[in-house]
A and B are shown apart, each in its own frame.
Chain A
Amino acid sequence: MTIEEFEALKQELKNERREKNRLLREIKERDSLLATYETSIKFFENLSNSFKKRSTEQDTYMRLMLEHSPDIIVLMDTEQKYITGTKRTLKEIGVDTDKLNESNFFDIIAEIVPEDFLTHLLNDFQTVVKNETELGYEKSIVLANGIEYIFTLILFPVRDETSVIIGVMLYVHDITELKRAVDEAEAANKAKTNFLATMSHEIRTPMNAIIGTTQIQMQKDNLPDEYMEALKNIYNSGNSLLGIINDILDMSKIETGKLELNLAEYDIPSLINDAVQINIIRIGSKSIKFALDIDSNLPLKLYGDELRLKQILNNLLSNAIKYTESGEIKLSVNHTVEDGDILLYFVVEDTGQGMTLENRARLFSEYTRFNAEANRNTEGTGLGLSISKKLIEMMDGTIWAESEYGKGSVFMVMIKQKSVDNDIIGTELAEQLCNFKFRGKSQDINLKFVREPMPYGKILVVDDIETNLYVAKGLLAPYGLNIETVDSGFAAIEKIQSGKVYDVIFMDHMMPKMDGIETTIKLRESGYKEIIIALTANVVVGQSQIFLENGFDGIISKPIDVNQLNNILNKYIRDKQSPEVIEAARKQSENVKAEPETKPGADSELLSIFNRDAKKSLQLINSIFQTIESVSDENLRLFIVNVHAMKSALANIGKKEVSNLADILEQAGKKQDITTIANETPLFIEMLQMIITEIDEQLDESSNSVVDSDPEFLCSTLKRITEACDEYDDQAAEEALAELKEMVWSKDTKDLLNKIKEHILHSEFEEASAKALEYIDSPLTLLESIEGFDAEAALKNMADLPELYMDTVKLSIRLIPETIAKMDCFIAKNYIEAFTIEVHGLKSVLKNIGATIAGSNAELLETAGLEDNGSYCVEYYPAFRESLIKLISRLKEAFPVEAVTKTKALISTLAEPVLKAKTAAGNFDCNNALDIIRQCAMFTYDVETDELLNKIIFALEAFEYEEALKAISVLEENINGI
């Protein structure tokens, strides 16, 4: 082999090797790529496993969901063929779910849904498919099972990955219960809102009377201390109750978003001072030091809702005082400026109970109070902080608190207010505040605060309810103003049209025919420009704006706040006068202590006023009711206005039940519910009539005495009248009548006297005399004249049935002597038990006929007998017997003596009376002797004794004393002989 060949071979080998390497490399590369591919496959297998696992899980979840979901979810293809869906509820409503698969869904449900609904649903299905749109709505349907359901239905198209519609999903959700709950909740909410709105009016109206009347009474100077104390308690309690009511109403307004802030300029020092002064009093006897730290650079005036700010401050301070027993309470007030607004900071620190962390978390929740056991005597609804927080948030502010249990709390409030000007309170004023020496526009709690005398002021009060006029006049009277009142808008307009001008008109809102707003509009249209202030018990948000928009210059809510009233009078009357006029008025009356228009018997006046109003309303209500089936709108409105007026008037006099009935009628009227009006009005009319009658009687009785003040004097004077009439002496008769007029008599007696007077006026003397004798001789009159006899009471015990009473008295005239005879016997034989039985029976008889003293004596004897005290009975029976004899003879005077069978009595019972008669006759005391013997003669003894008694009577009647004494002696011998 040559070198060249060797080199060539070597090169060839090299090339072959290179080629081999290249091929190996190529194989390796493919191997590597294959490895890459295999790795990819492993990862994708992993992914696939993961997908499968998740898919299985998803399937399981889906199956569970489909089986158990309470909603109806159905997937159909575009031909309405059922693909899949939930079955539970379908089964419950009666669908045969076994038939669903591969069937037309609508065919299956046709058995249980109404045809019109099915058609509607099918149309919707077609719409969804055709328009590729989603549909949703609520539907109420009655299924084949007879049950009504309310469903929410949604149909939406189902698409594949290329967005082609391949089916429709139907989703049905049962909202029947939800709807019901919503309706109930709405009704409850509406009822609550109505209730609260009604409460606002219903409670404030009588509160107005309570607080207003108390205020009026407290203005008197001559009240005893205990009365003043009692009135203060009523006033404070009334205000507390009003505060609680206001809290609840505020909460309701806040919850429904109806509370509005009333923005106006206000005075910061007054705000702070008022809040502090009111609350300092609450400290009472607690050992608490109250400190104030006021920034002297505070703006003097700000723009905001002063009332609500005071409410917030009041709440914080009152809480601090409530929950601090001793230590210190400090109020700090300062401010900063941000973007032209004032950020007002109030900080209230106390050394009181403090709060735990847990309690702090619940601090601003409603109705939250802590440490219930320890604070059970602490007043409060638990709404204060919640309301304060919401008010603060409405003012774009914040409130927060820090506290340590057992050590105390710090409450911090930041509120944004608008500035008014650059004036600041200054150091001096700040010091005055801190030293509680500030005297601003506010008044202290003493209701007898000094009112500016304004004799130059003219006021008109317009209100259809006399009670309200009464209260308003009472509160205005101390100012010495010229006060006029009218009871309707028409009357008010007439007053103005007649040329009258008033400094202020206080105008009620709700009045019949023309309400306060309409009246004011008319007044303004006529050119009347003076001040008109609305008086309203309807403290509903939005109303204030309505009043201001319709010509009113301001609003006072009822119950009337005296401070608010004072501010208005000062602003619109006093402040418009020159200083000289004001000073002159003051000098004329240093302190206005006008005699309140109330007088003792205000209750009577209120009732009287009520009855006047009620009679008018009753007439109107009755007449409208007669045509209620075809009542016109105007009449219905009148009906409503009148029952509304009666509602508050009845509440004012405490007739709550009837007031509630009036409210029902008012609400029925507003809803034009004629059925309810027709059903309830008769009862209302009847009850109202009863109340009117009752009050009339009460008023009559209060001015009339129940019983005659002096029956004996009446009797004797009537006798004089009869004598005068017999003599045709009208002057004497009239003089006698005049004497009687000054005294207090029952209604019947008054009627009698009036009739007698009338007869005398007409010179009908015989008739006048006969009338007088009717009374004189009337059994009742005679019975009334018996000492210890209360015929009137006895008559009342017998249901005021005179005949029954008279018969009872007549019967007792017979019974009493019979009982005496028995008692005589038992006493003589010392049969005390039998005696007690008889005296017991006699006691009832005596009390029944009005013989009260005799009845009481019988009771004493009965008691003694029951105690086996025979000696008492023996000792006191004779006196009791004598009083009974006298009683019988007086009873017989009242009634014509009838032939009465005498009762047999023992001759021994004559011993004592005959001795007395003998003594009387021996002293020529004929009348006395006669009385005694006549009493003895009421019984029968034996023939001889009876004859002797008659003989004695005849002799005494003839004043033959000697004959009488002879007969008495014979009788004595007979008595002593037994």
Chain B
Amino acid sequence: MIKSYVINIKEMDDIEFALEELNEQMAEISLLKNSIGIVSLNWDYISSGIYEAVANALPFQLAGGTLLSVATKDEIGIFVFSVMIFTSDECEFSCAVSDAIPNEGNVDQITQNCYKKALAGLADKAKLAFLFAPLNPNHYAEKYVAAMSVIDESTPIFGTLTIAEVDNQFGGGKTLLGNECFDDKLVVVVISGDIEPQFYIGSVSDESIIMPNVGVITESNDNFVTKINNMPIENFFERIGYDPGVLNKGAQTTGFIMHEKNEEGEVVSSKVSGILSLKDGVGAFMGNIPEGTVMSVMTTTKEDIMKTAQATINELKKNHSEGTVLLYSCAGRMFCLMNEPMKEHEFLRDELSGDYSFMVAGSGGEICPTYVSNDKAYNRGHGHSLVICVI
């Protein structure tokens, strides 16, 4: 059994004030034998030195990453530094950081080594793994989870791709472990003990497709697409009225749904996939895009986002009347909320402020299993989704 607490550091500039806030909140918390803190914070907290000071002041490891926004019971906004503290007498926690993820090439070995290192810190089998990875156009979440699942296919993996906004540009954020932050490393946290994590996913509705079947991927390599409808990708987007430059902004309001088909032409999967970068004739998508995949353009309205959030929370509440809840919501959803970018966060805060200990963060890419059985966890990466882990 795990107990959880959420602390927030509002002070962004003065370390002394920040630490005062921290001490005040920590004085209210009784830590158990083992503890760990899952961090969600704005990039500025790192650059100001606050994060390092807080990490050094805490008696346990911090792990997490920079995210676009945070909502907890007491705080909500972009400039928030929140820590969800897990503490337990029975459960064990182990963390590891990987070697630097190269821009190109296979990342399996690096990922698996990091996972193994984390797992090695546990006496028992892991029941839950957290993964924090940098948002990198060359590597998408499912690469990491696929590599990790090879090591242990039964442990569910939950997490996020880190994201930051710097000078109005959205891009990859930093991963954090201890008092260090990394541009290009994975951070893995594994938990063993008597826990039964449950997972919920809210994605896009059927009405989100606004331009069905606009194109067929005719040339691609993994997540890099070079031709759609036999046209160079940039020409294709121009053809359908898209400014390719806009697509390079990073997080988007519009994404794409990729319908993967089998040899008989039947659709076997439909996944949301944003485009992370589009330059030099190559579009980097957030997932493997095989040739022959049919692409539809999607976006969601404010109503759709709130509807899917409501439905997901309802599902959660049906099964859990209390508990520790960690939520990551895609930055794209925030953009689709237009003039009310925090509306979903506010909604979730209002829904969970009762008997739940929770932390919501705006994510660069969601990691959550779609299904967990005794033997296997179907670990996947998601886009434009709200993913929830309940412990």
> Which residues of chain A have a CB within 8 Å of any CB of chain B?
14, 17-18, 21, 25, 28-29, 32-33, 35-47, 49-54
Contacts and interface: CB of A to CB of B under 8 A. Distances in A.
B14 interface: yes
Contacts of A43: 246, 249, 252-254, 335
Contacts of A41: 338
Contacts of B323: none
B228 to A, nearest CB: 14
Nearest to A50: B241
Interface string B341-366: 11000000000000000000000000
Given A43-B335, A50-B241, A33 B79 contact: no
A21 B13 CA distance: 7
B45 to A, nearest CB: 11
Contacts of B338: 37, 40-41, 44
B17 A18 contact: yes
B335 A40 contact: yes
B12 A21 contact: yes
B334 interface: yes
Contact of A35 (B165, B211, B253, B254): B165
A49 B12 contact: no
Given A39-B335, A40-B253, A40-B336, A50 B341 contact: no
Nearest to A48: B241
B277 interface: no
A51 B252 CA distance: 17
B242 interface: yes
Interface string B313-341: 00000000000000000000011101101
Interface string B195-216: 0000000000000001100000
Interface in B223-260: 240-243, 246-247, 249, 251-254
Given A42-B246, A47-B254, A52 B241 contact: yes
A47 B14 contact: no
B79 A25 contact: yes
B374 interface: no
A36 B79 contact: no
A36 B210 CA distance: 22
Contacts of B170: 39
Contacts of A42: 246, 249
B14 A29 contact: no
A35 B252 CA distance: 13
B242 A49 contact: yes
Going nearest first, the 5 A-B pairs with the smallest beta carbon separation are A50-B241, A53-B241, A35-B168, A43-B253, A40-B335
Contacts of B78: 29, 32-33
B299 interface: yes
Given A44-B253, A46-B254, A36 B334 contact: yes
Contacts of B178: none
B77 interface: yes
Contacts of B17: 18
B391 interface: no
Nearest to A41: B338
B336 A53 contact: no
Interface in B252-274: 252-254
B46 interface: no
A355 to B, nearest CB: 30
The winner among A14, A18, A39, A54 for most chain B CB atoms within 10 A is A39
Contacts of A37: 338-339, 341
Contacts of B79: 25, 28-29
A37 B211 CA distance: 23
Given A39-B170, A40-B338, A54-B211, A47 B165 contact: no
B297 interface: yes
Nearest to A46: B246
Query: Which of A21, A36, A50, A53 has the most chain B CB atoms inside 10 A of its CB?
Result: A36
Interface residues of B, number: 34
Nearest to A52: B241
Contacts of B335: 36, 39-40, 43
Given A33-B78, A39-B168, A40-B335, 14 more contacts: A28-B44, A36-B335, A37-B338, A39-B251, A39-B335, A42-B246, A44-B254, A46-B241, A46-B246, A47-B254, A47-B299, A50-B297, A51-B241, A54-B240
Interface in B1-29: 11-14, 17
Given A35-B168, A39-B168, A40-B336, A47 B77 contact: no
A25 B12 contact: yes
A43 B251 CA distance: 10
A42 B341 CA distance: 15
A49 B249 contact: no
A45 B338 CA distance: 12
A35 B338 CA distance: 11
A47 B13 CA distance: 39
Contacts of B249: 39, 42-43
Contacts of B241: 46, 49-54
B246 A32 contact: no
A46 B341 contact: no
A46 B247 CA distance: 9
Contacts of B211: 50, 54
A42 B14 CA distance: 36
A44 B338 CA distance: 10
Contacts of B252: 43
Contacts of B14: 14, 17-18, 21
Nearest to A42: B246
A37 B170 CA distance: 13
Contacts of B299: 44, 47
Contacts of A52: 241
B78 to A, nearest CB: 5
A28 B79 CA distance: 9
Contacts of B210: 47, 51
Interface string B29-56: 0000000000000001000000000000
Nearest to B336: A40
17 contacts: A18-B14, A25-B79, A33-B78, A33-B341, A35-B168, A36-B165, A36-B334, A37-B339, A37-B341, A46-B242, A46-B247, A47-B210, A47-B297, A49-B241, A53-B240, A54-B211, A54-B240
Interface-central residue, A33, A37, A43, by most chain B CB under 10 Å: A43
B24 to A, nearest CB: 15
Nearest to B167: A35
A28 B13 CA distance: 13
B248 to A, nearest CB: 11
Contacts of B165: 32, 35-36
Contacts of B297: 47, 50
Contacts of A54: 211, 240-241
B12 A50 contact: no
A263 to B, nearest CB: 37
B168 A29 contact: no
Contacts of A44: 253-254, 299, 338
A190 B211 CA distance: 50
B77 A29 contact: yes
A15 to B, nearest CB: 10
A17 B16 CA distance: 13
A227 B79 CA distance: 117
B19 to A, nearest CB: 14
Contacts of A33: 78, 341-342
A53 B240 CA distance: 7
A50 B243 CA distance: 9
A294 B290 CA distance: 53
Interface in B71-113: 77-79
Nearest to B338: A40
A37 B243 CA distance: 18
A53 to B, nearest CB: 3
A50 B210 CA distance: 11
Contacts of B243: 46, 49
Interface string B145-166: 0000000000000000000010
A969 B191 CA distance: 173
Nearest to B362: A36
